[in-house]
Every structure is written in structure tokens, then in C-alpha cells.
Amino acid sequence: MSRKTERLTVDHLAELADPVRACLFWELGPVERARLDERERIAQKESWLSGVLRDWGSCGRVLHVDGRVVGHIVYAPAARLPGAVALPTAPASADAVVAATAWVEPAMRRGGLGRLLVQAMAADLVARGHTAIEAYGDTRGRSDGCVLPAEFLGSVGFKTQRAHPTTPRMRMELRTALRWKDEVELALERLRGVVRPTPKAARPIGSVRAASGERRDERAPLVAGCLR
């Protein structure tokens, strides 16, 4: 099975699953969304994406498995996501890019694809000099792809920034998350078919690191919600 991530473009929108290809939860406020039918929603989504790509740059990643789009993630500056103002834990921090929607086809879940999308997003933002990602999690088990499950966000490195019983705002620090960055780079190399040799231990057996019992985190990659 081949897996590949690439930059989200307007052309990819036609390949995304319903209802996420017409979801405007983040792009418009609730009043504006209610006025549009499905055809108008899709056109508005295309217009929004085109504008962000032109003015800000890459704002999403799509995931191909064996040449077919099976998932995506969208992220942007908070100012480009006006729908977030209705959430109780808004606004996002001034220094953070906001991870908005994400989706993996139901038949493809529980295989690590959601984690790969988050890693691709983080790698893009690190390369562009951004220092943090924030996301509004949902604790109610929704699976519509518009709001990310809080449990999933916690499993891939986000920490609670502002607590809330249903919609916590969560954050991932990119500048200080060096181990996360290494994992991102290794994952993307694997997606490209590059195998990086395992580095040799920097210290002999019995060093302080070995004595401390330090181990790499091996948590399961995906959990409940629209991405598992």
C-alpha cells in the first residue's frame, strides 16, 4: 500500500468526501452558513481555499493511498476562520495557526492515517517558521469532520490550552517539540519511500541516559472520532 501526502489545492475538493467538502463551519459565521444551499456551500469552499492559497500559502494536506484521496486536513490563521468566534474557548492565541477540519474515510481508519496528516501539517508549518498549532477539540464524539475529537488531538501531541467540558482549545508547540519534529521528518521520508538508518547510540551502555530508563513514547497512534 502506497501512502503519499501533498498540498491541498482547489482541484482536490471534488475528491473529498461528503459532507466535509461542503462544510463551512470554520469559513463562515452561522448566519451566513444558513443562507446557502449545498451547491453554494461548495462554491464558497472553493472561493475560500483559493483566497487563502493566494494570500497566505499552503493551508492543507491531502492523503493519497494507492493513488486515491482518502483523507485531508485544513489549517489557517485564525483570522481566516471566522466561524471559530462562536466557540466558547475562542479566540486562539495570536502566535498560533489553527488546525480546523480533518477527515479520513471510515474504511481507512485505525491505520495511522490521521497521525500522518497531522505530521505533514506540522512539518509544513515548521518549515515556514511557525511556532505553534492550536485546535478546538470536541469531547462529545462527533464524527462529521468539522471539529476534531479532543481525544485524538491529545494522542498526537496537543495539550489543553484552555479547558472546557465540550470544546477545549488545545495547543502543540513546534519550536520546542524537537522529538516531534524528528518523528515528522522520519514519517515523511517513509511516505516518500526513503529509509533512514537508525542512528547509533551516542553514549555507551551504562550511560546516564540508559541508567535513567528513558524510553520513547509508543502510544497507539489513533483514537476515537473522525480520524481513527
Per-residue pLDDT, averaged over 78-95, amounts to 95
Which residues are within 8 A (CB) of 18 and not within 5 positions of it... i.e. 6 or more apart?
A: none
Comparing C-alpha atoms, which of 78, 105, 92 is closest to residue 20?
A: 105
Per-residue pLDDT, averaged over 40-54, amounts to 95
Q: What is the pLDDT of residues 171-201, one digit of tens each?
A: 999 875 545 556 666 666 666 665 555 554 4
**Which of 52-56, 112-116, 187-191 has the highest average model confidence (pLDDT)?**
52-56
- Taken in order of first residue, the domains within the chain and their CATH numbers are 3-197 (3.40.630.30)
Assign 214 a pLDDT band (cuts: 50, 70, 90).
Answer: very low
Comparing C-alpha atoms, which of 138, 130, 196 is closest to residue 165?
A: 138
Comparing C-alpha atoms, which of 20, 155, 171, 150 is closest to residue 97?
A: 171
Per-residue burial over 149-161, b if 16 or more Cβ lie within 10 Å, else e, is: bbbbbbbbbbeeb
| Whole-angstrom distance, CA of residue 116 vs CA of residue 124 | 12
Entry pTM? 0.77
Measured from the Cβ of residue 221, the count of other Cβ atoms closer than 10 Å reads 18
Provide the mean pLDDT of the chain: 81
pLDDT at residue 112 tops 70: yes
How many angstroms from the chain centroid is the CA of residue 92?
16
Assign 215 a pLDDT band (cuts: 50, 70, 90).
Answer: very low
Rg (CA), the chain: 18
